[in-house]
Amino acid sequence: MAIDYHKLKAWPFGEVEQTYTWKDAALYALGVGFGHDPMDEQQLRFVYEENMRAVPTMAVVLAGPGFWVKDPNSGVDWVRVLHGEQSLTLHKPLPVQGTLIGRTRVTSIVDKGADKGAIIVQERTLHDKASGELLATLEQLTFARGDGGFSQVPGNGPSGGDPSPLAKPAAPEGTPDIVCDLPTLPQAALIYRLCADLNPLHADPAVAGAAGFKRPILHGLASYGVAGHAILKTCCDYDPSRLKSIGLRFSGPVFPGETLRTEIWRDGHRVQFRARVLERDVQVLSHGIAELT
């Protein structure tokens, strides 16, 4: 059954309200590798309540709509969806604790063809409940591999669906300006899942095995957080207010306990990057781009 273009574009997400505390902020930071060196005072500021700061990429786990494509009314073949890209723009530094309102909408649906699937792009804005201020804007690109060809159904949206989103640039060739190696803990996925995604793929060896993995894998958004950690460390001196935006493409799985090497090219306030797993020499994040203030 083809997805209904008009239904998805008007999907009734509703507002999501989430209250979090400094402990939630610290848990997220631990999940993406902060505090690995307990003597590093700069990292400590993200996991210790005294003069604490929030990790900017924590925005990805706040006030979200959950795995909404699993709703049978969406018409999406949810078993075959993949999280393809993630972007985040920060309008203000995230508070260490507070209550946020999340508002989500589907901004575009691209028909790549019956044999190539579809692309669903959703936007989420995060607002401080008390002040109404816009804190962050997130964009998530999902590959719906089983849902291509929907625009061939008469009346089901424009031919080809919406225009394809602009592609993120690939990292330059040659030697990077900065290389940052950050280890992940063997229990990193078990920590990170407490922040947002309870998918058993990241915890249960039997579920991971059925999906074709030798053991549970790390969440893609946890890898995203580790890359954000690398940018924050090497380009922002651990000052969250200096990170304006960060986006990337997911290109391979990471196993908890592996080391992520983030390769960074700087061009003024613009940063391009990619990341690979050292132990297997496999690229896992690509087309990374960040803007600094």
Rounded to whole angstroms, the Cα distance separating 242 from 64 reads 24
Rounded to whole angstroms, the Cα distance separating 190 from 193 reads 6
Residue 42 · residue 238 · CB < 8 Å:
yes
The token pair that represents 217 in the structure block: 């894998």
Residues 6+ apart with CB under 8 A from 154: none
197 is catalytic: yes
What residue has token string 């050292």? 278
202 is catalytic: yes
Given the residues 24, 127, 202, 229, the one annotated as active site: 202
Residues 6+ apart with CB under 8 A from 3: 74, 75, 76, 109, 118, 144, 147, 150
Given the residues 4, 147, 197, 219, the one annotated as active site: 197
Residue 242 dihedral angles phi and psi, to the nearest 5°: -90, -10
121-184-205-69 Cα dihedral, nearest 10 degrees = -10
Residue 189 · residue 202 · CB < 8 Å:
yes
Rounded to whole angstroms, the Cα distance separating 20 from 13 reads 21
| Positions marked active-site | 197, 202
